[in-house]
Structure 1
Amino acid sequence: MSAPGGAVLVTGSTGNVGRAVARHLALAGETVVSGVRDESSGGGAVRDTEARVLDFENPAGWPAALAGVDRMFLLRPPQISDVRRVLFPLIDRALDAGVRQIVFLSLQGVQFNAATPHHAVEKYLRERSAPFTFLRPNFFMQNLSTTYRDDIRDRGEIFVPAARARTAFVDTDDLGAVAAAVLTRPGHVGKAYTLSGEQSLDYYGVARQLTAALGYEVRYAAPSVEEYVARLTEQGAAADYIEVQKMIYRVVRMNVSAFPNRTIRRLTGRPATTFAQFAERERAAWAR
């Protein structure tokens, strides 16, 4: 466990990752502050955590959110592309407030993709000599049950431009356990962890496993980048979001995300969740 100190502030606490982090920290007996966008979303905070308003776009509220906090789990909300304007000042304020560890949710392969916002945040934390820990997870299994759920449920297809590349997917619950471990145990400041599952699948294999779990056929559409961008545009996605997605899948097609590892097992003491386990557990998300 960590040395006696203050609370842990978890940003993005009502999303898949933030909720998992807050839950595992609470289970570990930590004092957890769940950062929520506004008071109305405070009811969505994890049980046994304190909800505080943390609006990334409202610096006036940051001191109250950071009061009594000595560690922070930081993620970049998808709608924020200008990290220099928003996240950099929050990092500065956290350091000024005495935060002794910032665990940043980065991106696998970020060291090969300098155009991503995550790369800029990592670079800034290093420039500030901040007490950072970088978590660089592979693609979340939950992308299939949230972002791409409707394509799967309504069309029976997975529509991402990954070609035949393989991915060692990560369950966000495993990521939450990892974050709790590095925030509560010594020896993780200044480290960067690449987090992959222990099996590697292409999207044809993902489609087969979903078909087996859901009881209806799911196929991988294997769209081109142009077809994928057209679908996102049709759905009303913002231009900067589309550019980030294009960069991410460019890295996927390079097979940077293909390699499994046992880092989750090493940091948490338990094996990574398999995609079959995840699909069975979350099958209600795709129920027709």
Structure 2
Amino acid sequence: MTVWVEGATGKAGRRVVAALTAAGVPVRAASRHPGEARGSVTPVRFDWYDETTWAPALGAADALFVKGLDSDDNAAALVARFLDAAPAGRVVLMSAAGVDRGPDHAPRRAVELAVQNSGKRWTVLRPNWFLQNFDEDEWVFAKALRETGELYAGSGLVGFADTRDLADAAVAVLTSPGHDGRGYTITGPEALTFEEAARVLAAASGRPIRWREVTRAEHREYFARSGRPAAWVDHMLHLFELVKAGVFASVTDDVRRLTGKAPRTLAAYAEQKWRPTSRR
């Protein structure tokens, strides 16, 4: 079996590639800027908005790991066309926690429905907020944490998930039977507020980090400085509204059920990524 992985250089995708490779599964690693081939990984150029890249990128892959587009109203139509063109009979979609409880017309929910109606064998993974947003996504949290020691966020509980647990879960559903037509919510073992998360990061790093509750207007102004499209800014603001509404507060045992291992904690992540080498 060969698995095609979308977003192969991103936070989640590159961990999925690494986990599949560790399991001995050949990978077609799809991204807009592919690197050099290595071992059983074949980098391929792929762009949702350039359909001439689709067939060459897919090759003869047997299964697909698809992320789709977060903030494009046409995402579902693109995903439907892509899946119709793909010869692979198996697809695993990385969606997001709570999407299945949202309206069918919402972009991510519409993508889920496109996958479920594609005629392919499907599984949906719905991860909660990624721990790696704290150090890898510049304009979500990483930039402000690094430059000011502030965690810009609203209030509410989040069952933060580790991208490595998402990757291990993806390998499990791609390489073992019994997951067709099912959805799993990938979370950590506990739900924490952003204020609690700031304290954990501060304890590991040994430097002051404080939670700063910002208004929607302040958040919009901050995100707008990123230079990213307005649709991305609106998407992020919507996510923080969902945090406030409690959408991301749930914790599941799906990681343990799928992988046989307990999900990684925020504290363990912080020790690995935030504690200075001199203090380890």
Residue matched to 2:59: 67
5 Å-filtered alignment, 1:50-129, equals 50-77=42-69, 82-94=74-86, 97=87, 99-114=88-103, 116-129=106-119
| Separation (CA, whole Å) in 1 of partners of 2:135 and 2:72 | 22
Residues 81 and 20 of structure 1, relative CA distance in 2, 3 Å threshold:
farther
Stretches of structure 1 that go unaligned for 5 or more consecutive residues are: 1-5
Distance 1:174 1:47, change over 3 A: farther
Distance 1:182 1:55, change over 3 A: same
Equivalence for 1:3 = none
Residue deviations 1:174-228 (CA, integer Å, cap 9, x gap)? 1100001100001111001111111111011101001101111101101111211
Match of 1:166 in 2: 157
Deviations 1:153-179 (A, max 9, x none): 11110112x32x111100001110000
Offset from partner CA, 1:124-144 (integer Å, 9 cap, x none): 122333321100110000111
What's the offset of the Cα at 1:46? 6.8
Q: Work out which of the residue numbers 13, 20, 24 in structure 1 matches 2:19.
A: 24
One-letter amino acid matched to 1:57? Y
SS at match of 1:258: coil
Distance 1:179 1:218 in 2: 33
Q: For 1:200 and 1:61, how far apart are their aligned partners in 2?
A: 40
Q: Calculate percent identity across the aligned residue pairs.
A: 30
Equivalent pairs counted in the alignment come to 273
Contact map agreement 1:265 1:271 (CA 8 A) in 2:
yes
Alignment partners' CA distance in 2, 1:235 and 1:33 = 31
1:10 maps to 2:2: no
- 1:112-261 pair list within 5 angstroms: 112-114=101-103, 116-147=106-137, 148-160=141-153, 162-163=154-155, 165-261=156-252
For residues 243 and 111 of structure 1, the distance between their equivalents in structure 2, rounded to whole angstroms, comes to: 20
Looking at structure 1, the residues matched to 117 and 92 of structure 2 have their Cα atoms a distance apart, in angstroms, of 16
Unaligned ranges ≥5, structure 2: none
> Where in structure 1 do 4 or more consecutive aligned residues deviate above 6 Å?
none
Provide the C-alpha distance between the structure 1 equivalents of 2:179 and 2:94, rounded to a whole number of angstroms: 14
User: Would the aligned equivalents of 2:11 and 2:136 in 1 still touch at CA under 8 Å?
Assistant: no
Contact 2:32–2:45 (8 Å) recurs in 1: yes
- Normalised to the residue count of structure 2, the TM-score between the two structures is 0.91
Contact 1:23–1:46, Cα closer than 8 Å, also in 2: no
> Could you tell me whether the CA contact under 8 Å between 1:13 and 1:35 is conserved in 2?
yes
Looking at structure 2, the residues matched to 185 and 84 of structure 1 have their Cα atoms a distance apart, in angstroms, of 27
CA distance in 1, matches of 2:43, 2:151: 36
For residues 230 and 90 of structure 2, the distance between their equivalents in structure 1, rounded to whole angstroms, comes to 33
CA distance in structure 1 between the aligned counterparts of 2:226 and 2:31, rounded to whole angstroms:
26
2:48 partner SS: coil
